[in-house]
């Protein structure tokens, strides 16, 4: 799916959305159903690519939480409905690139278990 820079988006009349957004939204670029469909497709691709390996999911907070939770749920559902059970561990990190209002040269990773355990593991997206 490609969205050109000059595409006006979908009309709000095509959707229902919470009243507290009234007056704040002008159009919809990507409908929720398409996002759900692509997330489910990504879960299927992951299941196909991992073979019999276990999964370690590293979720970057705060912005990635909802996507990560949805993706993990799709992978779990696919695992439950397949011939093989996939073991999954989820861990969380936060990235910090600012101190007060100044950008730092190096990004800091906060939280998570010992990330050195991930060294040499095959990564995805």
In order of their start, the domains of the chain are: 12-115 (3.40.50.2020)
CA distance 59 to 43: 15
pLDDT at site 96: 79
pLDDT at site 100: 73
Q: Which ranges of the chain does DSSP label H, i.e. alpha helix?
A: 32-50, 65-80
pLDDT at site 3: 82
Average pLDDT per consecutive 10 residues, the chain (125 residues; last block may be shorter): 86 92 92 93 91 85 91 92 84 80 76 71 59
Q: Given the DSSP bridges, would you call strands 102-110 and 88-99 parallel, antiparallel or unpaired?
A: antiparallel
pLDDT at site 37: 95
pLDDT at site 81: 86
pLDDT at site 121: 66
């Amino acid at each position: 799916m490609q969205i050109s820079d000059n595409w006006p988006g979908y009309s709000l009349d095509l959707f229902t959305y919470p009243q507290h957004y009234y007056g704040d939204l002008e159009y919809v670029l990507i409908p929720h159903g398409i996002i759900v469909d692509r997330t489910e497709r990504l879960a299927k691709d992951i299941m196909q690519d991992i073979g019999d390996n276990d999964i370690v999911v590293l979720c970057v907070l705060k912005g990635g939480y909802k996507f990560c939770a949805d993706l993990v749920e799709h992978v779990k559902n696919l695992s439950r409905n397949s011939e093989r059970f996939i073991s999954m561990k989820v861990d969380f990190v936060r990235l910090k690139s600012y101190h007060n209002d100044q950008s730092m040269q190096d990004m800091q990773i906060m939280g998570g278990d010992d990330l050195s355990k991930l060294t040499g593991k095959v990564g995805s997206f």
